[in-house]
Amino acid sequence: MYGFSTTVTGAFDEVEQRVIEALKVEGFGVLSEIDVQAAMRNKLDVAMPRYKILGACNPPLAHQALQAEPDIGLLLPCNVVVREDEAGAVTVSFMDPEAVLSLVDREEIAELAGEVRQRLQRVRQSLQQDD
């Protein structure tokens, strides 16, 4: 598996804000936001439910990773997807940093990946508790 997810009750915009706030509690900021729905509509004239990719970063942990492996930026930031299905249910999915960063075969990166994974799992748990 390369990720983990949860379905969250609420309107898309509300859930997105809850995700951003929960990420902040764990030391993450959102560096980028890709509106996939808008891109598909504008570039391909394809309709789809709302779908955003949030590029989440914990600066101290990212700095440690970059110090250990300068090219690790190819695997950063941690993507968090907020998506709506055809019925209107909202799912939040998290990249599993242990799965992705296992590509870098270094012990210090594996330890950082474990820390990041724990923080993202706490974000998921907080979203589940809010429901």
Mean predicted confidence (pLDDT) in 27-56: 98
Of 131 and 1, the structure prediction assigns the larger pLDDT to: 1
Alpha helix ranges (H) inside the chain = 12-25, 36-44, 59-68, 97-101, 107-130
Residue 40's SS3 state is helix
Q: Which domain holds residue 13?
A: 3-130
* Number of domains within the chain: 1
Q: Which two tokens stand for residue 19?
A: 């995700």
Helix 107-130 to helix 59-68 angle (10° resolution) is 160
Tens-place pLDDT, residues 77-130 = 999 999 999 999 999 999 999 999 999 999 999 999 999 999 999 999 999 987
What CATH number did the domain enclosing 18 receive? Answer: 3.30.310.70
pTM of the model: 0.95
The tally of CA atoms less than 13 A away on the side-chain side of residue 60 is 4
